[in-house]
Structure 1
């Protein structure tokens, strides 16, 4: 993509993002396979390609920077890749006395546009950044708006766990956070989600 066009598109996306408009962002395709109490969706995602890096949690600016540099030219082709949504942040549980901490020592991931994946995504040139193929999977997701504070995220993760337990669905993985909007978006217009991978479709 031409540098001037890329810059203009990014600027327009940023301005629209303030108001929660995501029309210019490509998002991974999924179908809703079912719904649970509390607004939980059971989704079936097709296979997709992502670029990821290790991250210390949701607000890790260094991790975001590494991924952003990849899509703006830090790749073998030196080309620019359109930004997509959501940005996914996953963490590993670290046992503590109480409570259990989530979101530390995990990964941050950008999903790549389908056209880029089909054409063969360029390899990252920056250490610690890697391409990963995400297989087809079922995911339980619960959306919420507002600021994705640790407290808001923990509350939604607990609600997701209750809905899954009530439906007799065992969640074997730690929830991930998916953010669809830039941090400067108007809070009540933001689309945030917590999600748990449930396995193959």
Structure 2
């Protein structure tokens, strides 16, 4: 409960960013079909950390660590702007992600990440003090995406993932990695206004 309360409190602090221009991952839209899309994402850098737990609790566990890094808990005490979304992916393999804040799982571990602003490179970003925070360069990559609103429940996520997988098969696309869960809003945002996505890397 403590971690959930802390997560919510931090997002209340930064929640006003939703009304401002928050930088998002750059991509080119290649195909659109209702709520499904294929996008080509530009290269970018992630700040990433590994946590254990289920789908719904992993983001809250990781947020404190990542938010600390961008808030100045780094070698040069530099503040880094918040971006969107937060991504989460399974962490048993080397993850190829092109979403800003995402989440993936493998063996009960999730890699949760913040995309770094485009003005930074690996060499110009402040170095993390916390060894659990890793900076990683992500190359350009093509993604099949489903966009949806609603709660951050595993049931909602799983249903959307299944629909995206069926759409990928129907369109003859070949997957090249694990699915990514991306969230763009603070937890106090009404469920019907939330922007969520599931992304799958494709050839």
Question: Which contiguous aligned blocks of 4+ residues in structure 1 show a shift greater than 3 angstroms?
Answer: 10-13
CA distance in 2, matches of 1:68, 1:12: 11
Structure 1: gaps of 5 or more residues: 1-9, 94-101
Distance 1:122 1:64 in 2: 18
Tell me, yes or no, if structure 1 residue 44 matches structure 2 residue 40.
yes
> Over aligned residues, Cα RMSD in angstroms?
2.2
Map 1:52-131; keep pairs closer than 5 Å: 52-56=48-52, 57-60=55-58, 61-92=60-91, 103=105, 104-117=108-121, 120-131=124-135
**Please, what TM-score do these two structures have when normalized by structure 1?**
0.80
Query: CA separation in 1, counterparts of 2:39 and 2:166?
Result: 18
Within 1, Cα distance between the matches of 2:183 and 2:35? 17
Deviations 1:94-142 (A, max 9, x none): xxxxxxxx73412000001111338711111102101000100001110
Structure 1 residue 139 corresponds to structure 2 residue 137: no
8 Å contact kept, 2:22–2:83: yes
- Alignment correspondent of 1:166: 170
For structure 2, which runs of at least 5 residues remain unmatched after alignment? Answer: 1-10, 93-103
Pair 1:11–1:24, CA change in 2 (3 A): farther
TM-score of the aligned structures, taking structure 2 as reference length: 0.80
Q: How many residues align?
A: 177
